[in-house]
Amino acid sequence: MKKLVEIITKILPIKTKILNIGNVQMDSRKIEKDDVFFALNSGKNYIPQVLEKGASLVVCDDKKWEGHEKVAVVEDTLKTMQEIAKEYRKSLPIKIIGVVGSNGKTTTKDIVYSVLSSRYKCIKTEGNYNNHIGVPYTLLQIKEDDEFAVVEMGMSSRGEIKFLCETVLPDYGIITNIGDSHLEFLLNRENVFIEKSEIKNYVDKDSLIIFGDDFYLKNLNGIKVGFEKNNNFIIENYKETSEGVSFEIEKEKYNFHMNGKHNCINAAFGAVVGKTAGLSYEEIERGLKNCKVTPMRFQKVEKNGIKYINDSYNASPVSMKYSLETLADAYKRISKIAVLADMGELGKDELKYHIEVLEYAVTLDIEKIIVFGNIMKEAAEKIENREKLIVAETKEEIKNIIRKDFADRVVLIKGSNFNHLWEIME
């Protein structure tokens, strides 16, 4: 971490010479000897414990620590971390792949990382650390001998993708799709497209990989991946089983252990990145096989004898329909139900989107659909074909319904994160 030491020494008002840096941390519980700790928000309350654990440096904006030889007091801890991360990235020869889009970012990130790791020394965004805090933190985890980094970039406000791209300086970009996420503040898909496609201004068109079937993305210059014939890389012979998906690109067959057309697309991104990076077919296939996906993304879980598909990390109209379609297609000979909860950040038309999801759900080969949340409940009242719908008021009620009537079914759980829908499995 010699370069990081040089940058920190240059930017920060440090009273002691830093000889070594272990890791960079934001969580005081993870501190080990020689780590650097950025005391964000309430983190400043744990500075004594961090120093006791042997941290080489603490960065904070609490003036009471001025004069301490191992504490650098700054005006704004977060802005300082962002500045250091930006300068550190500039100093590194590493190739960075930025992943943006409305849905599928985290799974695509996991797949691309696993594929590239078949040959290269790689790092990826931890969990979903994809915002103005998590992305700089990710950059500060890079070691000087890392060859590739796969960085997920999300957004919660206009201009955030632009800010993150200016920090990350990606060499490659992936845009997974343009959906209905963030409509609460972006109002329509056109604005979502404008924000997400900012990444195109930071990479060459031959380094931008996009889902070419997407209405908004198909007209962008880049490497297009998809099922339609006008794509650069065409996904063919897509097949679905209870074990996952198989598909072909350029007559080469790939397998991936997650179900769903959307996960087939995510896996195809991984294969195309692998090809672009010069990997062999065997290396790409091994990367797909060994991929460990972040939890709560169409994750198969068995609890108390009940088979769940936990897809409850987040939800949008597009991802809801993908998950429902996958449940129906992948488990054709098995009885299944779905538990659907409210979707967030949909703005003034939120009820309309919930109604559309339920109207689609009742047409599928799914035995029953349990709905939870105020908006889902209201949407259920607007549906004509309500025979499949069960309205639940509490998560405890959902648990009891499943245990009593559907314990031998496959149970999909899907909703936005704030519902904590995974609690029904406990």
In a domain, 194, yes or no: yes
Q: Where are the beta strands (DSSP E) in 217-323?
A: 223-226, 233-241, 244-249, 252-256, 299-303, 306-311
In a domain, 222, yes or no: yes
- Same domain, residue pair 175 and 99: yes
Residue from 94, 377, 114 nearest 269 by CA: 114
- Same domain, residue pair 232 and 275: yes
- Same domain, residue pair 146 and 249: yes
Structure tokens at 182: 């963030």
Give mean pLDDT, residues 271-297: 96
pLDDT in tens, 200-222: 999 999 999 999 999 999 999 99
- Same domain, residue pair 233 and 328: no
Note the residue count of the chain.
Answer: 426
- Same domain, residue pair 264 and 363: no
Q: Please say whether the beta carbons of 176 and 102 come within 8 A.
A: yes
pLDDT in tens, 6-40: 999 999 988 777 768 899 999 999 999 999 999 99
**Three-state SS for 130?**
coil
Would the pLDDT of 339 be above 90?
Answer: yes
Q: Which contiguous run of DSSP H or E holds residue 98?
A: strand 95-100
Domain with residue 237: its CATH number is 3.40.1190.10
Residue from 147, 138, 21 nearest 86 by CA: 138
In a domain, 324, yes or no: yes
Name the domain boundary from 47, 75, 103.
Answer: 75
pLDDT for the residue 185: 81
In a domain, 87, yes or no: no
DSSP-assigned letters across all residues of 223-251: EEEESSTTSSEEEEEEEEETTEEEEEETT
**Any idea what DSSP says for residue 309?**
E
Residue from 425, 385, 402 nearest 337 by CA: 402
Give mean pLDDT, residues 228-235: 98
Give mean pLDDT, residues 257-279: 96
Q: Who has greater pLDDT, 321 or 332?
A: 321
- Same domain, residue pair 234 and 203: yes
pLDDT for the residue 180: 85
Name the domain boundary from 234, 260, 290.
Answer: 290
Strands 244-249 and 233-241: antiparallel
pLDDT for the residue 24: 97
Name the domain boundary from 290, 314, 333.
Answer: 290
pLDDT for the residue 363: 97
What pTM does this model have? 0.92
**CA–CA distance, 225 with 233 (Å, rounded to integer):** 5
Q: Please, which residues have CB within 8 angstroms of residue 125's CB and are 6 or more apart in sequence?
A: 109, 134, 135, 138, 150, 151, 152
Q: Please, which residues have CB within 8 angstroms of residue 220's CB and are 6 or more apart in sequence?
A: 175, 197, 200, 208, 210
- Same domain, residue pair 50 and 126: no
Domain with residue 15: its CATH number is 3.40.1390.10
Structure tokens at 5: 């030491």
The structural domain count of the chain equals 3
Largest interatomic CA distance in the chain: 71
Would the pLDDT of 182 be above 90?
Answer: no
Q: Please say whether the beta carbons of 144 and 1 come within 8 A.
A: yes
Model confidence at 326, pLDDT cuts 50, 70, 90, reads very high
Structure tokens at 270: 């991984």
In a domain, 84, yes or no: no
361: phi then psi, degrees, rounded to nearest 5: -60, -40
Q: Please, which residues have CB within 8 angstroms of residue 83's CB and are 6 or more apart in sequence?
A: 11
- Same domain, residue pair 52 and 116: no
pLDDT for the residue 398: 98
Residue 285: Cβ within 10 Å count: 20
**Three-state SS for 177?**
coil
pLDDT for the residue 400: 97
Q: Please say whether the beta carbons of 419 and 320 come within 8 A.
A: no
Structure tokens at 366: 């799914």
Q: Who has greater pLDDT, 242 or 350?
A: 350
**CA–CA distance, 64 with 384 (Å, rounded to integer):** 64
Helix segments in 140-204, DSSP class H: 160-168, 183-186, 189-196
- Same domain, residue pair 41 and 179: no
Domain with residue 405: its CATH number is 3.90.190.20
In a domain, 85, yes or no: no
Give mean pLDDT, residues 132-138: 98
In a domain, 257, yes or no: yes
- Same domain, residue pair 20 and 44: yes
pLDDT for the residue 236: 98
Residue from 149, 134, 145, 138 nearest 40 by CA: 134
Counting residues of the chain whose pLDDT is more than 70, the rounded percentage is 100
Q: Across the chain, what does the average pLDDT equal?
A: 95
Q: Which domain holds residue 60?
A: 2-75
